[in-house]
Amino acid sequence: PPVLPLSRLSSVCQSPAPWRIPCSLYPSLFPTGFARAGPVPGFQGDTLLLAFIDLRQLLDLFTQWDWSTYLADYGRPTCKYLRVNPQTALTLLEKMKDTSRKNNMFAQFRKNERDKQKLIDTVVKQLRNLIATNQA
C-alpha cells in the first residue's frame, strides 16, 4: 500500500477520533514497509521494525476488535497481543467511549449504537479488572 505523506499521517494521529479512519488506510499508517526496506543508519538489524510492533499490535487489536483473544491470552508468552499494555488499551477505549457519547447525542435511541456502547463498557470493565489483578 502507498505510504501516507508525513503531514497526512500527523493529522490522522492527532485526530480526536482516529478509529474512524477508513480501514483501507490502516496499512499505510505504519512505516513497517519502510523499516523492512533496508538498513537505516544508526539502527542495527530489526531494531527499527521492533519499534513499530507495539503500535501495530495495538492497531490490530482495535481494528479486529479481538478483545476476547487479548483478555484470554494476556500474560502468556505466546499471546498474539503481547506488546499491548492494558493501561494503554484502556485509555484509548475510554477516549473512544467519551468521544462517541459526545458526538452521538441521539445514539442512545439506536439499538446498534447502544449495543456498541455496552460492548465497549464491558471491555473497559474487564480491562480495569485485569489491571487491578496485575497490580495486586
Domain boundary among 14, 34, 64: 64
Q: What are phi and psi of 85, to 5 degrees?
A: -75, 130
Domain that holds residue 53: 1-64
Q: Which pLDDT score, from 0 to 100, does residue 113 have? A: 76
Instruction: Check whether residue 41 and residue 93 sit in a common domain.
Output: no
**Residue 48 placed within a domain:** yes
Q: Is residue 80 part of a domain?
A: no
Residue pLDDT, tens place only, 71-113: 999 999 999 999 999 999 999 999 888 766 666 656 556 777 7
94 and 47 belong to one structural domain: no
Number of domains forming the structure of the chain? 2
Q: Are residues 60 and 89 in the same domain?
A: no
The answer to whether residue 73 is domain-embedded is no
Q: Which residue has the higher pLDDT, 19 or 32?
A: 32
Looking at the domain assignment, is residue 95 inside a domain? yes
* 74 domain residue, yes or no: no
Considering the domain boundaries, does residue 78 fall inside one? no
Question: Is 115 contained in some domain?
Answer: yes
Q: Is 75 part of any domain?
A: no
Q: What is the pLDDT of residue 135?
A: 85
Q: Are residues 56 and 106 in the same domain?
A: no
Specify the pLDDT at position 1: 46
User: What tens digit of pLDDT does each residue of 30-81 get?
Assistant: 566 666 666 667 777 777 777 778 888 998 999 999 999 999 999 999 999 9
